[in-house]
Amino acid sequence: MDIRGNNIVVNYDDKIVLKGVSMEVNKGEIVTVIGPNGSGKSTLIKAICRSIKIGDGEIILDGKNIDNIPTKEIAKKLAVLPQVKSVSNDLLVESLASYGRFPHLGFGKRLSKADRDIVEWAMEKTGTLALRDRNIMTLSGGERQRAWIAMALAQKTDILVLDEPTTYLDISYQMEVLELVKELNETLGISIVMVLHDLNQAIRYSDRIYVLKDGEVFDHGDPCEVINRDLLKDVFNIEADIYEDYKNNCPYIIPNKIER
């Protein structure tokens, strides 16, 4: 299953946030959107999930215009983990994970044994089984993020969308979450779309990246081919040295100074 955005335009009042952006995610890929603050990264993610209304263009999910797909059917194909998440303070991890089965339930129906088995599987895959009876608010940042990913995984979709999944996490939890995302991609074939701020993490964990600047695609493609000194200067306004990370077979950026 793939998803494609064609010439997406998004307006907030009289401000054009996305100016005809096109993007595609092929089956089994990890695609990351990067760019400076205000470039339209999260807006693009929300647009392709139909979380916000687009002013022009189209979103194609599995060969169909997303506007013509019922919301419940979209949730069976595409799971979204937003940047801002809110649940009841006393919610247990297992209950949160079970929310992922709601798109598959009929009106007024309860979880079947098959649904509960899927929730169990999702917690096992995300390493949250031992946390199942813990209150979500008592977890560490990394544990909490894994619990949310368990919920998304329980939807049993082919595409997982993550908006800044490492925000507010320290470096060990950031790696924990991104290694989990990579494992889900490699072992289950789930396509991943995510927004990241850390350029080195985006390079290391992505098959392709989209670089946004001022609501437009500045460049896209294999991170090894896209990331260069000129791009870092033109998009992020920094001078940087680029080295080869031989262990992960990708470039590694060390910023030197802000370009004035």
Please report the pLDDT score of residue 260 as a whole number.
66
pLDDT in tens, 137-162: 999 989 999 999 999 999 999 999 99
Q: Which helix (H) or strand (E) holds 258?
A: strand 250-258
- Joined together, the tokens standing for residue 244 give 């080869």
Pairing of strands 191-195, 208-213: unpaired
Q: Which domains does the chain have, with CATH numbers?
A: 3-258 (3.40.50.300)
pLDDT in tens, 157-192: 999 999 999 988 999 999 999 999 999 999 999 999
- Joined together, the tokens standing for residue 31 give 């695609």
In the 3-class helix/strand/coil scheme, how is 12-70 assigned residue by residue?
Answer: ECCEEEEEEEEEEECCCCEEEEECCCCCCHHHHHHHHCCCCCCCEEEEEECCEEHHHCC
For residue 75, the tally of other CB atoms under 10 A from its CB is 18
Residues facing 161 on adjacent strands: 80, 193
Give the residue ranges of the chain where pLDDT is below 70.
106-108, 259-260
Count Cβ atoms within 10 A of the Cβ of residue 171 and give its class: 0-12 exposed, 13-18 middle, 19 or more buried: exposed
- Using DSSP's 3-state secondary structure scheme, residue 245 falls into strand
Torsion angles phi and psi, residue 8, rounded to 5: -75, 130
End-to-end CA distance of the chain: 44
Count of residues in the chain: 260
Task: Give the DSSP letter of residue 102.
Answer: G
- Joined together, the tokens standing for residue 190 give 């789930």
Pairing of strands 64-65, 56-61: antiparallel
Using CA atoms, how far apart are residues 235 and 211, in angstroms rounded to an integer?
Answer: 8
How many helical (H) and strand (E) elements, i.e. helices and strands, does the chain have?
Answer: 9, 12
Please report the pLDDT score of residue 47 as a whole number.
94
